[in-house]
Amino acid sequence: MSKPSKNKRASSSKSSRQERETAQFINTSFRSENDGDASLPHVLRNKLQDLFSQIEKEFEVLYNENLTLQEKVECLNEKLEKECYLSDKHAVSEKQGDSIDHPEVSLKVSSKQKGPSSSQKLKTAHKLKAQTSKIVSSFKTPSVNCNLIKEYLGHRDGVWDVSVGKPGQFVIGTASADHTACVWGIESGKCLLRYTGHSGSVNSIRFHPTKDLVLTAAGDQSAHIWQFALNLLEPQKTVSSDDEAACEVEEDPERSPILRTPIAELTGHGGVLAAADWLPGGDQVVTASWDRTAALYDVETGDLLQSLTGHDQELTHTCAHHSQKLVVTSSQDTTFRLWDFREPIHSVSVFQGHTDTVTSALFTKKEDKVVSGSDDRTVKVWDLRNMRSPLATIRSDSAVNKVDISLTGVIAVPHDNRQIRLYDMTGQRIARLSRSSRQGHQRMVCSVAWLNEPSASCNLFSCGFDRLTLGWNVQNTKDILFGSPSSPNSPKEFSDWLFHSPRRQRSFLTLHL
């Protein structure tokens, strides 16, 4: 045992001697160089460069290993979710005997009693309804296919926002931190027009509901309204083989048509504009700014109609109702506000329920509901008639960015952790879009947008800070249990359908006991 200790001491003394010599050399070099006001000595600079290059190589190795481990963890999580789903389904099916047996006993006992009370009947009926809903949920399997179809490449910095064009246009718009906004052909994947009129990061983009106009909000404290030509949407002539090389060059976003001048510039804010949207009809727009205010503008004149104050911190998003003069604004003050302009004197409602920045809040397409997303890792569904508590709360493992809702009520949720998840309005998760090192986003997903065009190859679009905009195809496959046209289309509908028919109750109990 004495030899190892001697060796350790020898190596220790040797290393300490080398350290002293190195320190002395460095001090001497610095003194000599500093006396002449010179830069770092050439020898030390080379040593530092070698050390930095070694550190960089080691970091690259660790980074690649980390990506590989993350992919493995995601695969294992997916397998675990499937196994948990199957085990839960099996456990629920085993417990159905107990859960169904009690209502049957209650029914038998009540039939023997001469005068059963109405409250007992109601309790039994409601119990049966809840249990049948659980049974149907246990039978339901994932029925959504999500496939990556298209990539839209060309931005030089992160893409903050994505939006779809008016019906029949088959275009999308993107807003980027590279100070540009682009209009893309959905099927071609080409950049049809690049707008460069802003002098700051373009944070939001929205298409006019009926006209060929685009609204963008930017970090230069202004919102621009600009026009794109219809003949850019589709090529007017077929290209010969001789012109193929030229066409390939035209696919470069730098070669796409460039627009620099807006038809209207909306100013008046004292801070960055986070978002802007068209009000119903497209005659007015609303803007949200970091100066803690929102503003209404007249599109034709560009005049500021009204300044909306009340938020305590910077605004992050705004959205207008599709048919009524209602506007929601979200803020870093953990609230979002509903502004009602249907009367001459507008009213304001404050929604409280989040514990961190509300990153987005928007109206559903069909019902009077609002869906909000927050940095507190939750998405909440609210009824406009009841502001006190949300109808549903979706909890996740990462901060939520700009959400969007389809016509059928599917909520697409983009996360900071590069994930995109789909939920229904009750908070049940429907699917998760696939993501790996080869497909999907590699950095934060900033925004998503649904497209209601059945003939389009993509019906969901996402953008992120990896400079990518992706087109997805999300399809709902027919469920075996609810495949019949005369059958209910959801667990709730099935529960109601069963609850209102004693004959169906008896048949169902006989079938599952």
How is 258-310 classified by DSSP, letter by letter? Answer: EE---SEEE---SS-EEEEEEPTTSSEEEEEETTS-EEEEETTT--EEEEE--
Distance CA 290, CA 295 (A): 12
What CATH number belongs to 148-476?
2.130.10.10
Per-residue pLDDT, 18:
56
CA 219 to chain centre: 21
Tell me the range of 165-174, 232-241, 475-484, 492-501 where mean pLDDT is highest: 165-174
pLDDT tens for each residue of 341-363: 998 888 999 999 999 999 999 99
| Strand, coil or helix: 29 | helix
Spans of all domains in the chain: 44-94, 119-143+478-513, 148-476
Let me know: does 349 contact 313? Beta carbons within 8 Å: no
State the chain's mean pLDDT as an integer: 78
Residue 127 has pLDDT above 60, yes or no: no
Distance CA 63, CA 397 (A): 22
The H or E element spanning position 66 is helix 42-112
Residue 45: band (very low, low, confident or very high) from pLDDT cuts 50, 70, 90: confident
Q: Which residue has the tokens 């001459």?
A: 344
Q: What is the mean pLDDT of the segment spanning 90-112?
A: 37
CA 53 to chain centre: 37
- Residue type at position 270: G
Distance CA 329, CA 371 (A): 12
Distance CA 13, CA 478 (A): 76
Per-residue pLDDT, 109:
32
| Strand, coil or helix: 218 | strand
Residue 73: band (very low, low, confident or very high) from pLDDT cuts 50, 70, 90: confident
- Classify the C-alpha dihedral 501-506-511-513 as positive or negative: positive
Determine the number of helices (DSSP H) and then strands (DSSP E) in the chain.
6, 29
Per-residue pLDDT, 229:
75
Q: Which token pair is 177?
A: 């931190």
Residue 117 has pLDDT above 70, yes or no: no
pLDDT tens for each residue of 250-293: 344 457 899 999 999 999 999 999 999 999 999 999 999 999 99
Residue 100: band (very low, low, confident or very high) from pLDDT cuts 50, 70, 90: very low
Q: Which token pair is 496?
A: 């109601």
Distance CA 257, CA 183 (A): 10
Per-residue pLDDT, 282:
94
The number of CA neighbours under 13 Å toward the Cβ of 115 is: 0
Residue 84: band (very low, low, confident or very high) from pLDDT cuts 50, 70, 90: low
Let me know: does 255 contact 249? Beta carbons within 8 Å: yes
Q: Which token pair is 465?
A: 């800070």
